[in-house]
Structure 1
Amino acid sequence: MVEQWILPHLSKGKRGFKTRWDLTKVIKLILKRMKTGCRWRELSVKEYFGDDGPGWQTVYYYFHKWSNDGSFKAAWVHLLSLNKGHIDFQVPN
C-alpha cells in the first residue's frame, strides 16, 4: 500500500544517495505519529527497525523534508483523489 500509493509522490535525493533506512517504515512511523499525536521522541522506532534502526530524529528529518518541499501534501492529495468515492465528507450535526 505505502509503496504503491505514497512513495512515488515523495521526493528522493538529488545527488543519487540512497538511504539506509526502509522508507516504508519511516512513512508508517510518520503516520503513527500523526494518528496518535505523540511526541517525536516517543515514537517506537525500535519496534519498526529493531536495535540497529535510526533515531526519532531521522523520522522527523524525512517528515520535515517532505513537508517543506510539498511532496507529503502531494501524496496526501493523491490518496484523497483515489478514495474520494469512499470518504464521507458530511459534517455531523
Structure 2
Amino acid sequence: MILGLADESTAEHRILPHLSKGKRGFKTRLDLVKVFQVILKRMKTGCRWRELSIKKYFGVDVPCWQTVYYHFNKRNRDGIALACFCHQILAKIKS
C-alpha cells in the first residue's frame, strides 16, 4: 500500500476530487479508482506497462495497457500526480 491509497474508498475520497474534468471529448467508461490502483501498482513494482495484471483489477471488461498508460500520461501532464502526492504528504505530517 502506497501512502494508504490502495483501497477504493480512500482513493475515491482523496484522489478523484483532484482529477481534472474534461470539457470536451468522451467520458471514460472505466472505473478511475481501478485505473489509479493499476497505476500505483506499476509505480510500486516498476514493471513494464505491458506486464500489468489488468485482468485482476477489471475482471471481464478489460482495457488494454495503452488505456491505463493514457490515463497516467494525461494526469501527469495536468500536474495532478504531484498535487496528490503533496496533499498526501501534508496529510501525513498533520496527523
- Pairwise TM-score range, normalised by the shorter structure: 0.7 to 0.9
Match of 2:69 among 40, 60, 80: 60
Give the TM-score, by structure 1 length: 0.84
Give the TM-score, by structure 2 length: 0.83
How is 1:75-86 mapped onto 2 (pairs within 5 angstroms)? 75-85=84-94
Greater percentage in helix: 2
Percent pairwise identity: 62
Larger relative contact order, structure 1 or 2 (CA cutoff 8 Å, min sep 6): 1
Find out whether 1:13 has 2:4 as its counterpart. Answer: no
CA deviation string 1:19-72 (max 9, x = no partner)? 100000000000000000000010011111123221111110010001011111
Q: Which has the larger radius of gyration?
A: 1
Listed as ranges, the gaps of 5+ residues in structure 1 are 87-93
1:42: which partner in 2?
Answer: 51
Match of 2:33 among 9, 21, 24: 24
Amino acid at match of 1:68: R
Listed as ranges, the gaps of 5+ residues in structure 2 are 1-9
> Quick one: distance in 1 between partners of 2:42 and 2:56?
14
Superposition RMSD on alpha carbons, in Å? 1.4
> Quick one: distance in 1 between partners of 2:62 and 2:31?
10
